A and B are shown apart, each in its own frame.
Chain A
Amino acid sequence: MHFTVNGNSSYCYTNSRAIDPGKPSIVFIHGSGMDHTVFTLAARHFARHGNNVIAVDLPGHGRSEGEPLTAIESMADWIVAALDALAVEQAALVGHSLGSLVAMDCAARHPTRVHALAMVGTTAPMPVSDAILNAAEANDHAAFDMLTQWGYSKRHQYGGNRNSGMWMIGSTLRLFERSRPGVLFADMSACNNYSAGVERAAQVGCPVQLILGAEDRLTPVRSTQPLQAAFISPQVTVLDGAGHTIMVEAPNALLDALHEVL
């Protein structure tokens, strides 16, 4: 559905349902250069299980208008503004990569609005290589190539999609190619510049789940130790065989893991 956030026409996928104030709500937040479609399967699943699902397109992404935001904190505040616009008092947040930092920051700084947090393919801090940043700044396709290749486990470079007939590398590339010039650089810079992650993690009071790919090359499991240590009793699920693009590489395992916290 289209709605207005901070004066801009914005979009969120709701499984074609109106927001029901009597149901729990789950907000899905995509990663860098992506849009709501990365969470289609999960959103459909939790909608059928009696939730309001709100898979957003961050400003400048997908079907949302406006300039891309340049800081994780701004994106977190935008999520709260979106909840206000949708008259949703409190929600569980599920974020992937950049979206996971947005969700965590939101949970830390707006604790009354978030009752559960799931971070998929995450780490903090989340440094981005100069090669990716430079390519993204130049709107060079090489940025899409690097993120796509390193975004999948080595085995998945050759496919093996559980979703019949879909070539995951091609699907991810096409989604990146749809992003507007400058969007990926804004997102990557936001990740790279977000230094408050571990501090924010310590402020999160709601249940937390980290869902990690055992073969993630962009946000390796080993890099998540400071984050894991900062949270109070996080639940950690490591998915064998998956890289960073967990929604595509392990869609069923992701659903099962999300049920642990949602």
Chain B
Amino acid sequence: MAGPDYPGLDTMALHAGAQPDPTTGARATPIYQSASFCFPDSDYAASLFNIERAGHVYSRLSNPTNAVLEERIAALEGGVGAIATASGQAALHLAIITLMGAGSHIVASAALYGGSHNLLAYTLPRFGIETTFVDARDPKAFAEAIQDNTRLVFAETLGNPGLDVLNIPAVADVAHAAGLPLMVDSTFTTPYLIKPFDLGADIIQHSATKFLSGHGVVIGGLLVDGGRFDWDASGKFPTLSEPYAGFHNLVFTEEFGPAAFITRARKEGLRDFGACMSPTSAFHILQGMETLGMRMSRHVENTRAVVDFLLSQDVVERVGYPELDGHPDKALAAELLPRGCGAVFSFDLAGGREAGIAFVDALDLFSHLANVGDAKSLVIHPASTTHHRMDAEALAAGGIGEGTIRLSVGLEDAKDLIADLKQGLRAAGKVIAKKGAA
């Protein structure tokens, strides 16, 4: 039986969470750049502090501009609520510290953004939280790594750097069988390409700096609660299911039901660790999100054109995009990501490190920098930049070759991008020819 239709993604990307400003009639969401908000009277103030009324106290905890952004991403993802954070890293940290403390354990995909890997592998162990990294393509490996003290399973929807497609339904089943939530970083995919909650994920993290914004002018993160995980039934999450002395013995699952996780994250993690988003950043991210669907469609269209071009080039040894024959996740990608596999991918040049450097230095249109998801096309040569301390063996273990190039394909005309890439390939070809002659 069909229920009523919900508004579509493009409509919600423009409207979700926003209303014309009730005071001024402003159609755009205003930037409420105010640290704090006045209370009409003392009882009203007390009721805000005691979670009796809806409203704002202090912008570290909530802010009207941020609230629009939070509601918009929650709507687009189909969750119950969200929190805007200072960065994607802050969102990941907020989720972890809401769920666990010292003595806990995380099972994470090995194919992670470097910043996430650093947090899990090096920083959190200092605070008593250990992580076991497993093959992102092997749900059984996730299951085998789960320990009695595991409190979270974490992976990216599209792994970094090899675009490993996460089998969300299978890994979610593994996590749920162990009474654990699955959290995914959906930065590369956004709700346009995949809806992780519909596939079984429980928590979503975004770096809103990337495709959600599109313009590359802000740093920001978003944490979204799907609201389906049963924290009480799991019995492994006392922060949510037992009285919290920091808030008059409030039991979050008892009082907030499906919103227990996101409410605790705001009432404790955002309050105490303070990694909130600036309202101006929220405003900028909202401007980007308004065109999310159109941009992601164009990102994918351009990426496919660039991939096709690179496949035809002699100096290109490998192109790693999940829609291609030979990619280990082609079938899974077709099932989970029918609209495309995003706009970040890598390819290998013949000629190694020198060819890679020559390629990057010869580009004009692609910007050489360490970011992805901009409307402008971006390029980086990991072996000489982000991973320059690693030798060839260590690079190989990370799925990176000396000639690997990572592209983030933007919204320019595809013909112009291809023309720019031709310049780079000519430069790389000269290096290869020179090495061959030597």
Contacts and interface: CB of A to CB of B under 8 A. Distances in A.
Interface in A26-56: 35, 37, 40-42, 44-45, 48
Nearest to B230: A178
A163 B257 CA distance: 15
Contacts of B256: 37, 40
Nearest to A161: B71
Query: Considering residues B7, B46, B81, B249, which has the most beta carbons from chain A within 10 angstroms of its beta carbon?
Result: B81
A195 interface: no
A239 interface: no
Contacts of B4: 145-146, 149-150
A149 B3 contact: yes
Contact of A157 (B3, B7, B62, B72): B7
A23 interface: no
B243 A16 contact: yes
Nearest to A46: B52
User: Size band of the A side of the interface?
Assistant: 35 or more
Interface stretch (A110-118, A167-175, A184-192): A167-175
B50 interface: yes
Interface in A222-251: 251
A170 B80 contact: yes
A142 interface: yes
Given A37-B256, A149-B4, A164-B67, A170 B75 contact: yes
A165 B52 CA distance: 16
B262 interface: yes
A159 interface: yes
B47 interface: yes
Interface stretch (A65-73, A77-85, A132-140): A132-140
Interface stretch (B10-18, B322-330, B420-428): B10-18
Contact of B80 (A45, A142, A171, A252): A171
B318 interface: no
A155 B54 contact: no
Contacts of A45: 47, 50, 52-53
Contacts of B63: 164
Contacts of B137: none
A180 interface: no
Given A16-B249, A142-B2, A255-B52, A166 B259 contact: yes
- Looking at chain A's contact residues, the main secondary structure is helix
B268 interface: no
Contacts of A194: none
A158 B54 contact: no
B55 interface: yes
Given A165-B62, A165-B71, A141 B3 contact: yes
B51 interface: yes
Contacts of A42: 52
A37 B53 contact: no
Contacts of B243: 16
Contacts of A149: 3-4, 6
A16 B82 contact: no
A165 B81 contact: yes
Interface in B55-84: 55-56, 61-63, 66-67, 70-72, 74-75, 78-84
B53 A171 contact: no
A21 interface: no
Contacts of B82: 165, 167
A175 B253 CA distance: 12
Interface in B244-283: 248-251, 254-259, 262, 266
A255 B83 contact: no
Contacts of B216: none
B385 interface: no
Given A135-B1, A251-B53, A255-B52, A158 B17 contact: yes
Given A158-B7, A158-B16, A165 B266 contact: yes
Given A41-B51, A158-B7, A251-B53, A171 B259 contact: yes
B53 A158 contact: no
B16 A134 contact: no
Contact of B18 (A134, A159, A178): A159
Interface in B79-97: 79-84
A163 B54 contact: yes
Contacts of B368: none
A229 B233 CA distance: 47
A131 B2 CA distance: 10
B12 A158 contact: yes
A167 B54 contact: no
Nearest to A163: B54
A166 B81 CA distance: 4
A89 interface: no
A164 B47 contact: no
Contacts of B18: 158-160
10 contacts: A13-B255, A16-B250, A45-B53, A135-B1, A143-B3, A145-B3, A166-B81, A167-B79, A170-B81, A171-B259
**For the complex of A and B, 8 pairs with smallest distance between CB atoms:** A145-B3, A162-B54, A165-B70, A142-B3, A167-B74, A164-B62, A174-B258, A45-B52
Interface of A: 13, 16, 35, 37, 40-42, 44-45, 48, 131, 134-135, 138, 140-146, 149-150, 155, 157-167, 169-171, 174-175, 177-178, 251-252, 255
Given A166-B71, A174-B228, 12 more contacts: A142-B1, A145-B3, A146-B4, A158-B18, A160-B71, A161-B67, A161-B71, A162-B54, A166-B259, A169-B6, A174-B80, A177-B228
